[in-house]
Every structure is written in C-alpha cells, then in structure tokens.
Structure 1
Amino acid sequence: MMANLRRMDFRRTDKRTYALWIVAVAVYAFLYVPLIIVMVYSFNDSQLNAEWVGFTFDWYRKLFSDAEMLNAAANSLIIAIVASSVATVLGTMAGFAMHRYKLKLLPLLVLTPIAIPEILIGVSLLLFFVMLNITLGLVSITLAHIAFCIGFVAIVVRSRLSGMDESLTEAARDCGATPLQAFRLVTLPLILPGVLAGALMAFTLSIDDFVITFFTAGANASTLPLQIYSMIKIAVTPEVNAVSTLLMVLTLFLIVVASKLAPSALRSPS
C-alpha cells in the first residue's frame, strides 16, 4: 500500500515538473524568439522583412556609413559614460548612507525613482527643466539619466555592504585610521565589485533609455533609441534590425559582466 502511494506521489510530482518545464519554455520562447528573429533578419538581403532572401553584411556596412546613426550612437555613448560615472559616485554614497544610517526617509528618497513609472519621471523632469529655463538637449538628458540611475547603483552597493564584515572597518579605526582612510583602504576595495556592477547597470540603463530621453531631449538632440524610433515610423528595415542587434549584444554583455561582478547584489536589494 505504501509503495503504491509513493509511486502515485512520484507520478504527480513528475507531471508537475513537466508542466513547469513546458510553461517555462513557452514563456522564454515568447521573450527571446522575437529577439532572435531580429538578429537573423539583420543579415537578410532584402529591403523588407517579409521573407528571407539571402545572407548579407550590407546592412551593417550601411549602418556604419550612416552619419545620423553614428552621431546618435556617439551622443548615447557620451551620455551613458557621464551619467553612469556621476550616478556611480552619488549612488555609492547613497548606498553607504542607507547602510550606515538607519533613516526611514532616506531609502524612500533614493529608491522612489526606481518604482515610479518612467513616463511620470520624464514628464516631471521636463516640467522641472522648463521651470528652471534649462535648454533641452544633451545636458538635460544627462541630468535626467543621472537622477534615474542613482537608485539602481545604491541598491547594488547597499547589498554589497550588507554582506561585508564590519569588524574589518572597526579594526582599521582601532589602528588609527580616520573614517575616510578606513573607507578608502578597507571598505571601498571590499565593495568594489558591487560598485563596478552598479556602474555597468547604470551605463546599460542610460544607453537603452527611450521614455525619459524622449521627454528631455528637445528638438536638436538625438540618441540611439530616438534615432531607431524615428526610423521605424517609416518602415522596419534590416538596418534597424542591425542597430538593434548591436545594441542588444552590448546590453547583454554588460548585464553578464555586472552579474559576474556582483551576482548576489543583482538578485536582492538587501
């Protein structure tokens, strides 16, 4: 009797496992098959994406000779580098403050931009820049990206700090180190993987962002996401697929590097 019950339980568990695998495969196929199609059709030797004609690198050659696209890519790269650098410094300070000082209001102020919808952030920043009479352009985009990315860096750094042995910092202080020296010589080297992971995450978010950039760009500033959007309003050509593929590869590469530097930090904010 007991053996029969065990067999029945095993069969039920086995069926549930198969069902979970089927659902998981279906979900991931829904997410990644369109991306794979975009990558494949970036090599399609046709003006249209309706059918496969043949293999070619012409769209990548055309992409790298497109002055507007290269200018937009350069703008995105400059904005992402500046925004991620500033956001990393400020986010590290915010993460350290949240870890050291248990203030209820501080996490709310730092992490609220993560929870607020991007369209709301974009509209509010647009009104803020207009109120301060700041000309919309690359500077306004950069400031907006800094404000948006600080919270993500702070989460990663705070997570890294929560797993650090505080006795090491206390030992440095007992040996005569000032708070700044203890942070520079002990704390910072220990949390450096988290800081680098936060920087890579901020860079990825900045170079990929469309919604906030759309509201804060102005008429003359163009970034890679905005340029892609202007192109697909006419038609989705293989050139759009090519630039989307390159952007996708860069984003995935940075995410993989960030996950290798601080895997636990990217899994949990505490």
Structure 2
Amino acid sequence: MVSYDLSGRTALVTGGAQGLGAGMAEALAKAGATVVIADVQEELGRATADAIKQTGATAGFVRLDVTDDAGWEQAVAAVVGEHGGLDVLVNNAGVEITGLLADLDPAHVRKMLEVNVLGTALGVKHAFRAMRPGGAAGNGGSIVNISSVAATIAFPGIAGYSATKSAVDRLTRVAAMEAGKLGYGVRVNCVYPGLVPTQMGNQLANDVVEVGLFPSVEEAIGAVVGQTPAGRLGEVADMADAVVFLASDAARFITGAGLPVDGGMGM
C-alpha cells in the first residue's frame, strides 16, 4: 500500500496565509513536503510559514497576486531556485462575493473571474512549464485546484461564485487531458469543499442574511447542514487531507477528477 508520504517534494499553495490554504499547507508539511505559501497578505503569510517551520518542517513565503502572469513566473522561479524543484501546486486562492442576480454588480463578477478562474489558469500554465520535461523542475507533478460544492449545487446568492467554481472544474479536466496528451507527467485534479466555518465561510453566512435570503445566520447555517447527509459543516482538516491524498502517490492513477469533500451535500 502506498502511503501519503511527500518527503522530498516541494509544494506551492496559493492563498495559503489563512483559512483552508493555511490548513492545506500545514497538512502537506506534516506529510513531509517542503511548503511555500503564496499570498498577497505578506505579513500573515510569513507568520503562517514561520508557524509551520516551528514544527520542524521546511516552509517559505512568496508574495503573489494570482491574477498577475509575470508574478506567477517570478514566484515559480523563486520556488524552484530556492528549493530545487516544484512537485505540487495547490491552486487555492479565491474570493466569494455574495449577491442576488437581480442586483448583480459587474465589478464583483469580474473580481471573481479574475481571481478564481484566471488565477487558477495562470497557476496551471506556470506549473506545467516548470514541471514538464525540460522545465525548470522537470519531474512532473500534481496540481490540485480548489473548486467548491457551489459548482455542484444551486444555493441562492452565490451565482457568480458558483459560475467561477464550475469553470475551475472544467479547466481542471481540460488541463488533465492536455498534460496527458503532451506527456507532461502532471496529474491535474480538483476538490469541491463543502462549507467550512473559516473567515470566508462565516462571511458567506452573514452575507446571505444581509441580502434577505435567511432571517438569521443560524438559519443559514442550518440550511446548509440540513442539505448535508453527514449532518455537519466541513472542517479545515477534511479539505486538507483530501489535498494531501491527491498530491501523493496514492492518487497516482487519478487525473481529471473532481473530488467532493462536502459531506454528501452535492450528490
């Protein structure tokens, strides 16, 4: 049986300063990987990397706006230059802006498209260039894109977010096909996290109340739990463990897949 041991591998986690991204970075480091956190929140990102280093793992930070093509090129070059390779990319950075379709704000939709779709696509682009034969790293690898249960259900107030996370799913599958056809040696998969009470998850609960969809935060959360066969909200560890699995050799014959980690909500 193959373990989830990631010793000797280097992982880059976008949006890793806090929330799900921080949990994913910590889990990858616990599995033995060298972890680099990429985020626009420099102070918080460095603090998260320092906390990981205190566990005895190797960790670092690179500032990255995922919508910046040149920024991606520089970040990947820095990771490969400092750590000798790039084996895992977790495209986790994302934004969610709640709003009713009748009140749609084009600026909000553009922001989600830029970060959630373009940011993920640029990550795939630069990971492919580094990981493929002849690239700066050149040993293949694994890309894990973070989609959302929002891509698989119809929950009110998150149309724009749902659309962008559905795009991440489609992007993942095309990327996996291209990587296979072109012999890159890179697996590409995505995870559909359920609602987790991180800062983003808690903000969503407050926002759907503010736009009039639920009378209270408690009822909004209750509606999510009521749609979830597992009967609870997700935890950061639930999502982080799924990422470690997909990054590991235990998932060596899995590519182009979407893994629901949502307690059954999106089935």
Larger radius of gyration: 1
Q: TM-score, normalised by structure 1?
A: 0.26
Q: TM-score, normalised by structure 2?
A: 0.26
Bigger relative contact order, structure 1 or 2 (CA pairs below 8 A, ≥6 apart)? 1
Task: Select the structure that is richer in helix.
Answer: 1
